[in-house]
């Protein structure tokens, strides 16, 4: 069975959405790590 252009388009869309989701997840986790690190630094400075 030859995949129609619709099937190809849907696969393309899905992979694009997946990539975007992964990218957003990466950015969010980076941001989260950054803020966590900042809080830790703040705590250490406060303790000294």
pLDDT tens digits along 24-46:
999 999 999 999 999 999 999 89
- pLDDT for the residue 31: 93
HEC-encoded secondary structure of 28-41:
HHHHHHHHHHHHHH
- CA–CA separation, 41 and 48 (whole Å): 11
- pLDDT for the residue 6: 84
* Mean pLDDT, rounded, of the chain: 88
């Amino acid at each position: 069975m030859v995949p129609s252009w619709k099937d190809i388009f849907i696969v393309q869309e899905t992979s694009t959405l997946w990539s975007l989701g992964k990218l957003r997840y990466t950015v969010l986790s980076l941001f989260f790590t950054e803020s966590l690190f900042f809080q830790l630094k703040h705590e250490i400075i406060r303790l000294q």
